Amino acid sequence: MLALTSHAYRPGVMTELSERTKANMDVVLEETCRQLPHGGGHDSRRFIAERLIEAAESGHCTLGELGIVARRALAELMGKGG
Please report the pLDDT score of residue 82 as a whole number: 54
Please report the pLDDT score of residue 15 as a whole number: 58
Please report the pLDDT score of residue 13 as a whole number: 43
Please report the pLDDT score of residue 46 as a whole number: 97
Query: Residue 25: is it exposed, middle or buried by C-beta count within 10 angstroms (0-12/13-18/19+)?
Result: buried
pTM of the model: 0.78
Please report the pLDDT score of residue 80 as a whole number: 80
Q: Average pLDDT by consecutive 10-residue portion of the chain (82 residues)?
A: 46 68 96 93 96 95 97 93 61
